[in-house]
Amino acid sequence: MVPTQAVPEGLLSAPANLTYVALLFALFVVPKVLQRYRIPDAVTCLLLGFAAAALGFGRENQTVELLSTFGITALFLFAGLEIDARELRRDLRTFTQHIMVWSALMVIVAVAVAGILHFQWRAAALISLALVTPSTGFILSSHHAFGLSESEHFTVKTKAVGSELVALAALFFIVQTTSWERFALATATMILLVAFIPFAFRVFATRIAPFAPRSEFAFLLMVAVVCAYATLRLGVYYLVGAFLVGVAAQRFRVRLPAMSSEKMVDALEAFGSVFIPFYFFAAGTHVEHEQLQWTAAAVAGALLVVITPLRVGAVTVHRRMALDEPFSRSRRIGIALVPTLVFTLVISSILHTRYAAPDWLVGALAIYTVVNTMLPAFVLHAQAPEFTEPAAEPTTALE
């Protein structure tokens, strides 16, 4: 039975259970309908969360928050599973150059934010990460909606993964270096966590898996949830722990192939398709009306006009110079890397709760990430999803 005491007054003139049924319908049906108009599922769920909060439902709802935790864990676990060292080494020179270009862009944006908006360096660096870090999990799950070819998808994947790796390391450093004692303790904790994950996998592979077939998915998910909560306690949110578990599972594939097999990835995608909408819905409920003011809209517009072309241009120019790639292909790859949805939402939450960010800044980041997340599907002219026609039954020729 779903607990009713966690549901606030406002929307609930109907019984609580009917409200949750309506929520499930909204999250699983409405985004699919709007997908035909190239509006990403995640954006629809985010907007539904904002609307629900305005009606008095969703904010601080324990059930929704729990389900959203599973969603963000699944999203970054999936992103970690996509990291294959062999693929990254395939074109190590270009990959390294991209990391350097992205890192330089992050520093330039952080310096500009600190100089123009007069924020202290930690807040400026976090804002820079929110503005320039591609949302790997979202991008990898949306490449078909972007109309990318398989080779383009591979290129976008490696660039997004590389950027996110550096961004996660930067996030950890920024948040934990408030004192050297805190940084040393957090670093030691992360080292222990990194050592614990392979150990847990080895114990599972030798002591549990032989006697519990088809238990790999449940084990992988539970380890990801535990590690996600551990990194949340460190102040770097759920995503770092879940991401590390995904990376470890991919590296453990020789010892336990089922841990990172295609079947496991498919199962995780199916699991995520159920719970990830709750994460975006919950994120939408935390966007307050006071944050969506005209100042926020004006700042978001300026960010879209300046930052988005800068990011696309950096990718395009680098690939033109390094690979002599056609402009049209380089531009498509740059545009596909534009969405920042998850990373922007996470950092907005950190800025709001830990750095007392002003309402107009949180609102501007929310508007910025919604628009840039919708951009690739429209600019790249992806085909709207179509229903599969049923196959015609074979007919036999009449004699």
CA dist 109 and 135 (Å) reads: 18
% of the chain exceeding 90 in pLDDT? 32
The more confidently predicted of residues 393 and 351 is 351
Res 13: pLDDT:
46
Tokens standing for 343?
């990373």
Distances (CA, A) of 2 to 18, 67, 395: 11, 12, 52
CA dist 111 and 169 (Å) reads: 19
Distances (CA, A) of 223 to 246, 253, 268: 10, 16, 14
Residues near 120 by Cβ (< 8 Å), separated by ≥ 6? 114
CA dist 378 and 360 (Å) reads: 27
Largest interatomic CA distance in the chain? 89
Mean pLDDT for 337-347 is 92
Question: Is pLDDT above 90 for 310?
Answer: yes
Mean pLDDT for 375-380 is 86
Mean pLDDT for 186-212 is 86
Mean pLDDT for 275-281 is 92
Q: What is the dihedral of CA 149, 155, 157, 158, to 10 degrees?
A: 160
Q: What are the backbone angles phi and psi of residue 77, rounded to the nearest 5°?
A: -65, -45
- All domains of the chain in start order, with CATH: 30-379 (1.20.1530.20)
Tokens standing for 349?
């939450």
Name the amino acid, one letter, at 395: T
CA dist 23 and 197 (Å) reads: 36
Question: Is pLDDT above 70 for 272?
Answer: yes
The more confidently predicted of residues 199 and 301 is 301
Give the angle subtended at the CA of 346 by the CAs of 345 and 347, to the nearest 5°: 95
- CA neighbor of 152 nearest in space, from 141, 144, 163: 144
CA dist 342 and 139 (Å) reads: 10
- pLDDT confidence bin for 254, thresholds 50/70/90: low
Mean pLDDT for 81-96 is 78
% of the chain exceeding 70 in pLDDT? 86
Q: What are the backbone angles phi and psi of residue 136, rounded to the nearest 5°?
A: -60, -50
Question: Is pLDDT above 70 for 7?
Answer: no
- pLDDT confidence bin for 396, thresholds 50/70/90: very low
Q: Euclidean distance between the first and final Cα of the chain, in Å? A: 63
Res 161: pLDDT:
86
The more confidently predicted of residues 143 and 357 is 357
Burial of 321 (0-12, 13-18, 19+ CB in 10 A): exposed
